[in-house]
Homo-oligomer: A and B are copies of this chain.
Amino acid sequence: MDYLKIFAPATVANVSCGFDSLGFAVDAIGDEMTFTKTAKKGVKITNITGADLTYNVDENAASTVVKKMLSEVNADFGIELTIHKGFSPGSGLGSSAASAAGAAFGANQLLGNIFPKLELTKFAMFGEKVACGTPIADNVAAAIYGGFVLVRSYDPLEIIKLPVPTALRVVAIHPQIAIKTKDARAVLPEKISLKDAVTQWANVGGLISGLYTDNYNLISNSLIDVVAEPARKKLIPFFDEVKSSAIAAGALGAGISGSGPTIFALCKGDEVAQKVYNSVQESYKNTEIDFEMFISKVNQEGIKIIN
């Protein structure tokens, strides 16, 4: 293989109770990237569209990953990249993760598919570190594995792919404001009460049980975040209104995607998802803030080759 084009999905990390542990990939939006083998060694970004990102191969989340992989196996060829961002950086939907995970996946294809998904996740985490300062795994793992993932451990890295009930739908709204991951981290408490921690892990247990048993009621009951959401929601204008309108329209639950500002809602079935979409859209129209929205299935397969 000398060339491929891929789709790298946007991802929702944290997922209410699963702060820093859970993530899932969406189907509707993501990046498109191409990878071309070159005789000349090294990595080069030849085109970036859809967002204003650096072409510096040591600073771009995608090219750093490709460079590291080529170097690791001492490849006798190089790779040229193009990146079309299908959604905005800073949305809380794993923009740098899509680029980094897509880069790991694409380079691996040109290398003859020599790395398993866990290793691709580690390479992609390196790209996350370059882009965001922290080698967070939840978004990149969700993009690479697809579906819901649990980051069970960082040392050693252990990723558990969880099942996804087939009727699960995502509705998301991205208010057009910027929240830096660093600022979203800064509002988090360093310590939490043992009581809140117990509540949170009981809900993680409930959510995961619900995913294994297609129990939408249990998923709904468990989509509660008593740790990050109370601290972070003040950074997101009209968060409470969006969440209330989503739940009033039938959503199983709603929360902050990653570190925001995107707010996601999970729903059972297309009909409810459309109602939730309409209701959230209506509630945000009255604000002065621009926004984008989408409805999506949960992406089951992760990054895919599109030609």
A residues engaging B (CB < 8 A)?
17-22, 150-153, 158, 160, 162, 188-194, 197-206, 208-209, 212, 218, 221-222, 227
Contact = CB atoms under 8 A, between A and B. Distances in A.
29 contacts: A17-B201, A18-B201, A20-B198, A20-B202, A21-B202, A150-B206, A150-B209, A152-B205, A152-B206, A152-B209, A152-B221, A152-B222, A153-B199, A153-B202, A153-B206, A158-B206, A158-B218, A160-B206, A160-B209, A188-B194, A189-B194, A191-B192, A191-B193, A192-B194, A194-B227, A197-B227, A201-B204, A208-B208, A209-B212
A192 B203 contact: no
A198 B158 contact: no
Given A153-B221, A190-B193, A204-B204, 6 more contacts: A20-B202, A188-B194, A191-B193, A192-B192, A205-B205, A208-B208
Contacts of A194: 188-192, 227
A136 to B, nearest CB: 11
A200 B197 CA distance: 9
Nearest to A197: B197
Given A194-B192, A202-B151, A158 B17 contact: no
A190 to B, nearest CB: 6
Nearest to A217: B158
Contacts of A20: 198, 202
Given A194-B192, A209-B208, A212-B212, A203 B152 contact: yes
A57 B222 CA distance: 38
Contacts of A203: 152-153
Sorted from nearest, which 5 A-B pairs have the closest CB atoms? A201-B201, A152-B206, A191-B191, A197-B197, A21-B202
A202 B205 CA distance: 9
Contacts of A200: 197, 201
Contacts of A18: 201, 205
Contact of A197 (B22, B192, B206): B192
A130 B287 CA distance: 53
A301 to B, nearest CB: 19
